[in-house]
Chains A and B, each alone.
Chain A
């Protein structure tokens, strides 16, 4: 179908976008990559009165590492993260997750900010941001505030962003020297919509023990979630297949009623969450070992 009509405003800067959002109120939506919003408009599931197009706001597209912090501008295309070799090392998992956001043409347009703000429970970047302890920067007419990823996702397609706020960037502390990360998902068809996914960051101490581990899961609840029980199982232990198995069991047992839909039953999702946690931990730990 064709999208319903709307009024269009091009914002050349983040401040201009925030001003336009404030001016046009609740009927206004931010247009970034458009890979979900325009699809929903074409299907007539949403009909915003006003679109504030942030694509001209080039200041919002950047990937920066400074003072131990990685900052990614909201307008950074998923394909840019996918191909950014400076993220290799401890952030390989972020690149892996970006490389699996839909297909090439979707990644060329879709943005990091859009992937987070759309807050789809099965999206790839939210669990990575949880595992990396990221914070999201939201700009409103009163200035910037930062929201931890843990407090950002409130439900399917619901976030802590106020209607007139713009997600401008995501920041995360670089994992410690010698940490490894991984993202693994399962979908019915390769690179199709993920049934569930797991992101893991593992840091090893000098003796090869796990000094820190963080795990995020997608597709197993109304939002991406941290798998804290599985983290507790592995921290302080040495990497081993048995340990990953124990973590898998803890992660699966702790889930609160994973959803059933046409793609998979809740029971299968619970099983899958365990399998993915084990695989993501193993891959992240293996990468950490290679780096130490």
Chain B
């Protein structure tokens, strides 16, 4: 690799400008994960089929495995890390929690980004609209029903606000002692 093959590009990710030196072949997903440490964006197929790598570029969902980092200079990129504000989950994340819309969670970041785009374009989708918008995302665990429920619930504003801070700290050792008397 020659020095001249390295390109300097500044990615604006979740509102923060991040200058990078990358080879042109660096996929956007790898720049996010490897160079910027934003490992929330998952890679399933690396060929545009599964949707797990979905991020928003200038507000629109794209498969980050089908875009080169050098193409994203000057764009506003939103990844799953950009959804929650502080300890407060994004309403769609809260709805996924409420509706148990994830099991292993591998597909979840992609579904969230696709769902966020849908709700921005159409704040009141019907079930068919949700299914069409999520059709490009594959989940191997949930069977999709709870994911669709979660997006509809978020659209209804039905999912209650939830923060990480609300969750009571669990002292596992103390629980074991209490239960087993040791």
Contacts and interface: CB of A to CB of B under 8 A. Distances in A.
A104 B136 contact: yes
Contact of A103 (B24, B47, B60, B136): B136
Interface string B135-177: 1110000000000000000000000000000000000000000
B27 A2 contact: yes
Interface stretch (A36-44, A222-230, A232-240, A275-283): A36-44
Contacts of A96: none
A5 B5 contact: yes
A35 interface: yes
B67 A106 contact: no
A1 B24 contact: no
Contacts of A188: none
A190 interface: yes
Nearest to A45: B47
Nearest to A55: B71
Contacts of B24: 5-8, 51
A104 B71 contact: no
Interface string B110-127: 000010011000000000
Interface string A51-65: 101010000000000
A166 B7 CA distance: 25
Contacts of A34: 66-68, 71
A86 interface: no
Contacts of A51: 24
B132 interface: yes
Interface in A22-46: 31, 34-35, 38-39, 41-43
Given A7-B5, A8-B24, A106-B63, 16 more contacts: A3-B25, A10-B70, A38-B48, A38-B66, A38-B67, A38-B68, A42-B65, A51-B24, A53-B70, A53-B71, A55-B71, A79-B60, A103-B136, A105-B51, A190-B135, A191-B132
18 contacts: A2-B30, A2-B46, A3-B25, A5-B5, A5-B23, A7-B24, A8-B68, A38-B27, A42-B47, A51-B24, A104-B114, A105-B60, A105-B61, A105-B63, A105-B114, A108-B60, A190-B132, A191-B136
Interface of A: 1-8, 10, 31, 34-35, 38-39, 41-43, 51, 53, 55, 79, 102-106, 108-109, 189-191
